[in-house]
């Protein structure tokens, strides 16, 4: 996977988390709540890993000189 693919995967996982149903506290059991919380945390951790890898890829190997994740180059007084 390259940086943009990692970023897209992080976004996809976040969309999955947002689409998860919110359980009704009146009907959900403690065990069900624990399973749902663990699944959500696992997905969030996966999204964080992909986001971190996307940032690392963009920092180390920018796809273009105008990458928004990189600082602007410093002016070089000896070269225009």
Per-residue pLDDT tens for 13-43?
A: 999 999 999 889 899 999 999 999 999 999 9
Q: pTM of the full predicted structure? A: 0.70
**CA–CA dist 62, 73 (Å, integer):** 13
Q: 74 and 65 in contact (C-beta within 8 Å)? A: no
Per-residue pLDDT tens for 40-70?
A: 999 999 999 999 999 998 887 655 555 555 5
**CA–CA dist 70, 21 (Å, integer):** 38
């Amino acid at each position: 996977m390259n940086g943009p693919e990692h970023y897209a995967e992080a976004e996809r996982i976040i969309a999955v988390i947002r689409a998860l149903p919110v359980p009704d506290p009146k009907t959900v059991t403690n065990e069900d709540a624990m399973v749902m919380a663990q699944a959500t945390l696992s997905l969030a951790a996966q999204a964080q890993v992909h986001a971190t890898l996307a940032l690392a890829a963009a920092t180390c190997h920018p796809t273009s000189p105008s990458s928004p994740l990189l600082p602007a180059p410093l002016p070089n007084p000896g070269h225009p």
